[in-house]
Amino acid sequence: MTKIENEIQYKASMERIEELLPLVTDDTPLTDKNLVELELLSNLVADYDEAHYPIKTPSLSEVLKLKMYEKDMTQTMLSEIIGVSPSRISEYLTGKSEPTLKVARMISVKLDISPSIVLGVGA
């Protein structure tokens, strides 16, 4: 098989990978047939995943919510960190408003968020 063509082949490949995983360790020789098969199937599955289940770049709203959760931060706390009103934070979180370049820079620096996400230009 050079390519996974459909969901049935994909599921069968995933099942075979699950069978192979316990048979392979870090010490398995590179010539071991189980390791070779596991690598081939893993690459085929990765290609299928990329084509059929792409991971989209998260929105600023999604990333802000995640950062706030991770840092146990309220909208008021976030507003103080980046220097805008809590209502403006609410607008960013709902997608009703986008930050100015100055505020986007602060969000990126203070929360360690990729500038491409903050500016909405993709990765």
- Identify the pLDDT of residue 116: 86
Domains and CATH numbers, the chain: 7-52 (no CATH), 60-119 (1.10.260.40)
- Identify the pLDDT of residue 57: 81
**Four-point Cα dihedral 47, 49, 51, 56, nearest 10:** -130
Tens of pLDDT, residue by residue over 68-110, are 999 999 999 999 999 999 999 999 999 899 999 999 999 999 9
What is the distance between the alpha carbons of residues 20 and 3, in angstroms, rounded to a whole number? 19
